[in-house]
Structure 1
Amino acid sequence: MRLHDYLDAEGNIEIPAGVTLTSFLDRHAEQRADAPAYRYLDFDHDRTVELTWSAFRTRLRAVGTRLQQVTQPGDRIAILAPQGVDYVVGFFAAIQAGAIAVPLFAPELPGHTDRLHAVLADARPTVVLTTTAAAEPVREFLRTVPRPQRPRIIAVDAVPDAVGRDFVPAPVATDDIAYLQYTSGSTRTPAGVEITHRGACTNVVQMIESVGLDWDTRSVSWLPLFHDMGLLMIMFPALLGAHITLMSPVSFVRRPYRWIRELGASDKPTFAAAPNFAFDLAAQRGLPPAGEALDLSNVAGLINGSEPVSMASIETFTSAFAPYGLNPAAIKPSYGMAEATLFVSTTEPGSSPTAVHMDREALSRGQVVRVGADDPNAVVGVSCGHIARSQWAVIVDAQTECELPDGRVGEIWLHGDNIGRGYWGRTDETELTFHNKLQSRLTQGSHAEGAAESALWLRTGDLGVYLDGQLFITGRVKDLVIVDGRNHYPQDIEATVSEASAAVRSGFVAAFSVPGVGREEVVIVAERAPGAGRAEAAPITEAIRAAVSRRHAIPLADVKLVAAGAIPRTTSGKLARSACRARYLEGGI
């Protein structure tokens, strides 16, 4: 797969008919037989598990054959396995066998069994792929599934290589569904986004071209393989014949230097992606031990996405690792979502992250007025750069469905071949989310230029604004707090709360509105910082109320201080404000 092979005469990305996520696997196995493909650093057992391209093909054929023996084309095959190379084998084997992969997680992931039940009931897989080590917990979990819907269990690592001797890949078309990417469920019950081979291949090309990566770039990832960002990372090697080193999220969180060290472990250009919290964590606890050499000059791109991007986090990370050769331009604030396969926008190659300071009052009215960094009413916005090639993003007035000019805040609508086909089994929700028409475009400077007048657009539910041609994300439509007719962004209020007291765990605050008497009222749920578990609540809540009143002119109906881990989060680590609000209203917080 090379960029020029996938561009039409006008320079648009066009995936040729017949190309799928598994089209190039046999070629890679022939041309790069003994070269590493997928490598997993197993810190729990102090070992490295590596699959060469030849071994990867052997495992795919074995598991694929076993799947073809017990499934029909189009069946859903769920992967409920721990992080590792067996997960990768299971995912691609399901696709090669002609099924629809459903990347999920092993049931021991704490706090998410309800989500797993909901997804299995929605996807109705006929087979669950796991590993020998995880088979018993998976079996126990599946005993709770009604017997007629209970899937067969296959341990990927228990299938002998010899089974795949006569494997024949199933005929798969470019526009067939490759997998169902279940949303993180931060605002609603998870839904399975139908990702086609065309959508996934297009998005990989868009990311490589936008970030400015070499097509032989090495990559490193600790991201969960069931998450859209983690999943796209393992598609790079499959399509390009490159190499990726994987580790578990827990291994990273316990010792962030493991990720940093691996980024600098080769002189080849290296690419990685992570949510914003990882940059904070790595800066705090990921510096090399005294006397240990570290060279990060090879890092070609580090995408910061999946949650609101903080300029403070970027600056802290850059300051921490610039002495080790990190180029500030390698940090790439980005925007993406599962419904778009993943990737939407990022900063231009060679450009360092930039921010603007916006007046809070004007922003509450849907307008951007720039102010100085020292303005007491300043809100920091980080540029997520430019939209990927062959993808369109317009800012829309959600009421009129008309495009808004630059400088106006509205809902982000997307169009392109990378957009998912819809939600699995949800016709009405698919129509509302994926099949929208722009009622009017700007006569000058339209960001829809080049998209057909008949184009269908995806409502993202995200709020954004264009400034100088660059996209800035301001929040979520459903999370918006509206008090006395004024819009307030929850992340802005949450930042104020985090700064109000050292007893508050920064980044672990949820702000949301609840019905009051004749108006909406605002509630704060904040986790206590380490060491503040027994601190008296009254001075902390008083400081929070005063700070929010001073900066946002909002009276708080309630402030709850809770223990670390009490605020629900999605499987990708985002604050689940809707779930937190529901628990609060039920009296669970």
Structure 2
Amino acid sequence: MDRGHVDAPEGLLRIEDCLDADGNVVLPAGVTLISLIDRNIANVGDTVAYRYLDYSRSAQPAVFELTWTQLGERLRAIAAHVQRSAARGDRVAILAPQGLDYITGFFAAIKAGTIAVPLFAPELPGHAERLDTALGDSQPALVLTTAAAADSVRGFLAKLPSARQPRLLVIDDIPDSSGADFVETVVDVDDVSHLQYTSGSTRPPAGVEITHRAVGTNLIQMILSIDLLDRNTHGVSWLPLYHDMGLSMIGFPTVYGGHSTLLSPTAFIRRPQRWIRALSDASRDGHVITAAPNFAYEWTAARGVPDAGDDIDLSNVVMIIGSEPVSADAITTFSEAFAPHGLPPTAFKPSYGIAEATLFVATIAPTAQPTVIRLDREQLAQGIAQEAGEGADAVTQVSCGQVARSLWAVIADPATGGELPDGRIGEIWLHGNNVGRGYWGQPQESRRVFGAKLTHRRSEGSHAVGVPADGVWLRTGDLGFYRGGELYVAGRLADIVVLDGRTLYPHDIEQTAADSSSLVRRGYVAAFTVPANQMPGATTQDTTEQLVVIAERAAGTSRSDPATAIAAIRSAVFRRHGVEAADVRLLPAGGIPRTTSGKLARRACRAEYLSDALRLR
């Protein structure tokens, strides 16, 4: 397919208008999510903006579409009702199932001059505590939902203290004619667009204040980095719309007037072929972009390979893989499964993103293939990224490529705040207009995380060149390093395992456990440490940290004796990492808690282990 860029219709935002003379991303005055939607309504109003494939009633999807003009009508109608129940700057939470009503509710809250809080309906299993935390933190004046979810939402809200109970508005009960009552509201580029709640993988969820400037800047950064300048590029996503990448997939079309096709996370999990079919259909019409974490690619390679005779074409697909760290096995397994269906070797784009930076931070070049390196395990334990010799014990790492334009990423010593040289592992710090403003209602934590200062910069080869000496940085909590000008992500600082003075990475131990026995479900292992005296049933006063490994059973192994797998895990962990696992447990599928975005929730798993709640699972 010819990748030549298609000129934007007159009146739409042009990427060149968002760059200064030096090529830096600078949004034109007045550009917000709402102004972008208004441009599309005025210039490509009759074209599709969003499409939803609804598998809730049959094996064949019901297809629902909104043109830009129809979207505009729905936004005015819903926003008019929002204005009756909430004042400017109030928070408006969206507690609705995946679908077009969620999209209209999110954008309408912003159009009304309020702050959108994208969350989820209470039906999402296992995440009631997170929902309660987010509602308690954001204190919304109004909740938007749909008729299908209204009863469950009312039931959930009724359990809240009376002082915290917001009003409820059912989106699909609102007629388009209500738009006549909408009062035009000026939305400034530095107003908060929405609160993006973090996944809660290592700490309680916090609401990141994302401004319109941050959203617009980050969308432009992604479009430039992934080469999405062609208006024939469309999105396909099953990612939940309360997740930062899910929101970005509905953000892309606002910039260049394209469209995105959505399906629900449940539809994907039940039959991952649905995702593949949607990608194939879009691939025939133009370039298509999608995104998912490690587990989704592994799941699809295992359960979503097309049936014999299926006409699947993935030749024009770009696949962002954005877990931290990215799994080389996930890329290889998926690529081998779908290469016969036209998937090009350049399709996968290992990337790094974080909610505190709106989302996107780095990815590999549009024409590049993923780069996998082997690092010496012992040197890695000392904080040094050194390639392993032939036959040496090694850890694989996948490059996340180049940092986005007009964004700076340095590797800092988390203890001293000084910039580290390339090849040294430290905390990733970020500076740029795409970084959020702070955590909602947490000024002290916001200063600590979003207001870091570099104590010194490298005299040569500094990655901070261009940032003022007194510039503030975002502490991501992620560990990484530079090699060959590319950024690698090594894991979360809070997840690091320190035993006998050695630094170990939990995902490395988890990989060892998964490799040790066919009874272990790949991608479903959690490793962490707990003090000896806090282990369930402990009788010692010893506070020395002990290693715990929790693994889920692979499919079809429920009748197998777990003792052999537990022994294999212990042996492999000791042999490869030189540490004893004080406790190893094999749970049924679904036993390890995960975040709402599908990542391992090690923090939650550790908490359940300490309370002995894992036994109930």
Aligned to 2:321: 304
**Among the aligned pairs, what percent are the same residue?**
56
| Rounded Cα–Cα distance in structure 2 between residues aligned with 1:557 and 1:20 | 53
In the alignment, the residues of structure 2 paired with residue 427 and residue 192 of structure 1 have an alpha-carbon distance, to the nearest angstrom, of 12
- Match of 1:224? 240
- Matching of residue 105 in structure 1 with residue 120 in structure 2: yes
User: 2:302 aligns to what?
Assistant: 284
Listed as ranges, the matches of 1:162-181 within 5 Å are 162-181=177-196
Give the match for residue 558 of structure 1. Answer: 583
The alpha carbon displacement at 1:560 in A equals 1.3
Pick from 547, 553, 556: which aligns with 1:522? 547
Deviation at 1:57, TM superposition (A): 0.8
Cα distance in 2, alignment partners of residues 186 and 295 from structure 1: 35
| Pairs within 5 Å for 1:331-342 | 331-342=348-359
Distance 1:89 1:321 in 2: 35
Matched, 1:347 2:364: yes
Q: Which moves more between the two structures, 186-195 or 318-327?
A: 318-327
Secondary structure of the structure 2 residue equivalent to 1:279: helix
Corresponding position: 1:126 with 2:138? no
Describe the SS at the equivalent of 2:72: helix
Cα distance in structure 2, aligned partners of 1:343 and 1:412: 14
Amino acid aligned to 2:300: A
Q: Tell me the equivalent position of 1:531.
A: 556
Given that residues 324 and 489 in structure 2 are in contact (C-alpha distance below 8 angstroms), is that contact kept between their aligned partners in structure 1? no
Query: Normalized against structure 1, the TM-score is what?
Result: 0.98
CA distance in 1, matches of 2:492, 2:134: 23
> What is the one-letter code of the residue matched to 2:56?
D
Distance 1:302 1:531 in 2: 30
Partner of 1:423: 439
Match of 2:430 in 1: 414
Select which of 255, 262, 269 maps to 2:287: 269
Instruction: Please say which of residues 23-32 and 88-97 is displaced more in the overlay.
Output: 23-32
What do residues 75-96 of structure 1 show as CA deviations (whole Å, max 9, x unaligned)?
A: 1000000000000000000000
Pick the aligned partner of 1:394 from 400, 407, 410.
Answer: 410
Amino acid at match of 2:193: A
Q: Secondary structure at the match of 1:329?
A: coil
TM-fit CA distance, 1:393: 0.5
In the alignment, structure 1 residue 36 sits paired with structure 2 residue 48: yes
5 Å matches for 1:458-497? 458-497=474-513
Two-structure CA RMSD over aligned residues (Å) = 1.2
User: Aligned partners of 1:203 and 1:588: how far apart in 2?
Assistant: 40
| Structure 1 residue runs without a partner (length 5+) | none
Per-residue displacement from partner, 1:403-446 (whole Å, max 9, x unpaired)? 00001000100110000000000011001100010011111111
Shift in alpha-carbon separation, 1:88–1:518, aligned structure 2, 3 A: closer
Counterpart of 2:30 in structure 1 is 18
Maintained 8 Å contact 2:324/2:491: no
Matched, 1:158 2:173: yes
Letter in 2 for 1:544: I
Q: What secondary structure is seen at the aligned counterpart in 2 of 1:38?
A: strand
Does the residue aligned with 2:252 lie in a helix, a strand or coil? helix
**Contact 1:17–1:173, Cα closer than 8 Å, also in 2:** no
Q: What TM-score do the two structures reach when normalised by structure 2?
A: 0.94
Instruction: Determine the C-alpha separation between the residues in 1 that align with 2:24 and 2:434.
Output: 12
Number of residue pairs the alignment of both structures matches:
587
Task: Give the whole-Å Cα distance in 2 for the aligned partners of 1:561 and 1:42.
Answer: 36
For residue 5 of structure 1, the aligned residue among 17, 22, 27 is 17
The CA deviation string for residues 29-71 of structure 1, in whole angstroms up to 9 with x for no partner, is 2322221111100011241111111111111110011111121
SS where residue 235 of structure 1 aligns?
helix
* TM-superposed deviation, 1:315: 1.5
Deviation at 1:239, TM superposition (A): 2.3
Distance in 2 (CA, whole Å) between partners of 1:311 and 1:510 is: 18
2:598 to 546, 557, 573: 573
Distance 1:240 1:91, change over 3 A: same
| Shift in Å, 1:469 | 0.6
Give CA deviations for 1:193-244 in whole Å, capped at 9, x if unaligned: 0000000000000001011122411111100000001011101112221111
Q: CA deviation at 1:531?
A: 1.9
Which aligned runs of 4 or more in structure 1 are off by greater than 6 angstroms?
none
Moved more, 285-294 or 348-357: 285-294
